Structure 1
Amino acid sequence: MAVKVLILEDNPVARSFLCRVVRESFSDTMELVEAGDLEGARKQLARVASLPPEQGFRLILVDLELPDGNGMELLAEIAGSPAIKIVTTLYSDDDHLFPALQCGADGYLLKEDRFEVLVEELQRIVRGQPPLSPAIARRLLSHFRPGGSGDSGPMGLNSGFGALTSPGGFASSRSVALDPAPEWERLTPRENEVLTYLSKGFTIKEIANLMGIKWFTVNDHIKSIYKKLNVSSRAEAAVLASKQGLV
């Protein structure tokens, strides 16, 4: 089954460029759907709304400045979607970056980056890392360094970014619950299997190959695990897995 990708971009040239980036980034068969404005994107989302999650859009690229509004409106509307939502924009300032993350963006890429850079950043998804343009990564690091804005800044702890955080990523300042048993019992056998591999250091793509499933499905399992265990990083999940004797 082809992986559905929605690309929301009003500039035809930029839209064609992003389509090439997506095709180059992943080995999966892709079904690319293009929209030039919010209305068009909403129609495409409504078209798949009644389908099972695995048949809906799994990756959504969202431009911010659009003819009929702002891409953040759409991000807020689809915040509960299992799709990976990535902003693709020319804006690298805090006034666009942090509100986009608060609205549920899982990544933030600058369209001005070279083709090869964008491909590499998108491929970070299958390694369990957030896709960030280099300039954006530096801005976030600066934001969290001593003397910066600190972890109480606009990104917050519930930005929707945690599900894509890797061991070397932005760890949450939340402490791991002392008694995780009630949440642990809610994990499905499939989620337990994913968590075991995750805690042993396997990437999302490696887990997908080992389990014979799509990497998008693995990512869905990870998001569910993090939510059920109330953690936001692989490191926190590994601590709980160790306590349960999975690793």
Structure 2
Amino acid sequence: MKTMLIIEDIPEVGDWLQQQSGRVFPQAVQHRAASVAEACARLSYLSPDLALIDLGLPDGDGLSVLRTLKRDHPQTCCVVTTIFDDAGHLFPALRAGADGYLLKDDDEQEFTSALSGIVDGRPPLSPSIANMMLRHFQQTAQQMAQQEITLTSREEDMLVLVANGYSVKNAAESLGISVHTASGYLKNLYQKLQVTNRAEAALKAVNLGLINPADTL
């Protein structure tokens, strides 16, 4: 890491970022910019190895600087340094090409430890940001699973009954259908849920939100 650009409009925060990043990369020559215009001017002659980018700048959005860096200096490791810890700021930054996302209110040890991960090829992410990303993709996976599995009303009825311990015969009687038809519904359920027994079917259906746990005993 030879050259670094810190884009931050609050002098005290810029000093803190310079101090912390200097601990991680003591040999790097540090440059600073306090606005979008100043950052773009710097980038007309500077090609930094690392850029720390604030999102809220007095003359515009830090994402515009991030996009410029990724377009004109693709080798630069671009790390957003911000106070915004919400998905509305995180995911647009990642889509714009951010290589990391650090919160300025992290303690010094967390901040420098995350930043030092660059050396080992680890993306610098604040712990709370990493957890947010994990939760987001877990929820997305669950939603996709729910969208892929669609049960008919009769299959849902059958699922609730077998989840409550009904035999195929008793379920058939409860639904007013033949045992043969009930067995067909159960077979379809196993195929759709990719399970092999009633206990697995009930557990997976609850986890996917296909049935309400209150509907089971």
For 1:72 and 1:26, the matched residues in 2 are separated by: 24
Deviation at 1:47, TM superposition (A): 1.6
Deviation at 1:127, TM superposition (A): 1.2
Aligned to 1:220: none
- Amino acid of the structure 2 residue aligned with 1:33: H
Aligned to 1:228: none
Alignment of 1:62 with 2:46, yes or no, is: no
Structure 1 unaligned segments of length 5 or more: list them.
49-55, 154-247
- Amino acid of the structure 2 residue aligned with 1:61: L
For 1:39 and 1:100, the matched residues in 2 are separated by: 19
- Amino acid of the structure 2 residue aligned with 1:86: V
Runs of 4+ residues deviating >4 angstroms: none
Structure 2 unaligned segments of length 5 or more: list them.
145-217
- 1:195-234 Cα shifts (integer Å, max 9, x gaps): xxxxxxxxxxxxxxxxxxxxxxxxxxxxxxxxxxxxxxxx
Deviation at 1:10, TM superposition (A): 0.4
For 1:76 and 1:83, the matched residues in 2 are separated by: 11
What is the root-mean-square deviation of aligned Cα atoms in Å? 1.8
Alignment of 1:41 with 2:34, yes or no, is: no
- 1:103-144 Cα shifts (integer Å, max 9, x gaps): 010000000001111100001111111000001000011111
For 2:25 and 2:37, the matched residues in 1 are separated by: 28
For residue 140 of structure 2, give the secondary structure of its aligned residue in structure 1: coil
Aligned to 2:16: 17
- Amino acid of the structure 2 residue aligned with 1:115: E
For 2:121 and 2:108, the matched residues in 1 are separated by: 21
Q: Identify which of 57, 62, 71 aligns with 1:71.
A: 62
- 1:43-64 Cα shifts (integer Å, max 9, x gaps): 100023xxxxxxx210000000
Normalised by the size of structure 2, how large is the TM-score? Answer: 0.63
- More relative contact order, 1 or 2 (CA 8 Å, 6+ apart): 1
Q: Identify which of 95, 99, 107 aligns with 1:102.
A: 95
- Counting matched residue pairs gives 142
What is the aligned-residue identity percentage? 37
For 2:80 and 2:126, the matched residues in 1 are separated by: 10
For residue 6 of structure 2, give the secondary structure of its aligned residue in structure 1: strand
For residue 122 of structure 2, give the secondary structure of its aligned residue in structure 1: coil
For 1:149 and 1:13, the matched residues in 2 are separated by: 39
Q: Which has the higher helix share?
A: 2
- Amino acid of the structure 1 residue aligned with 2:48: F
Deviation at 1:26, TM superposition (A): 2.4
For 1:112 and 1:152, the matched residues in 2 are separated by: 32
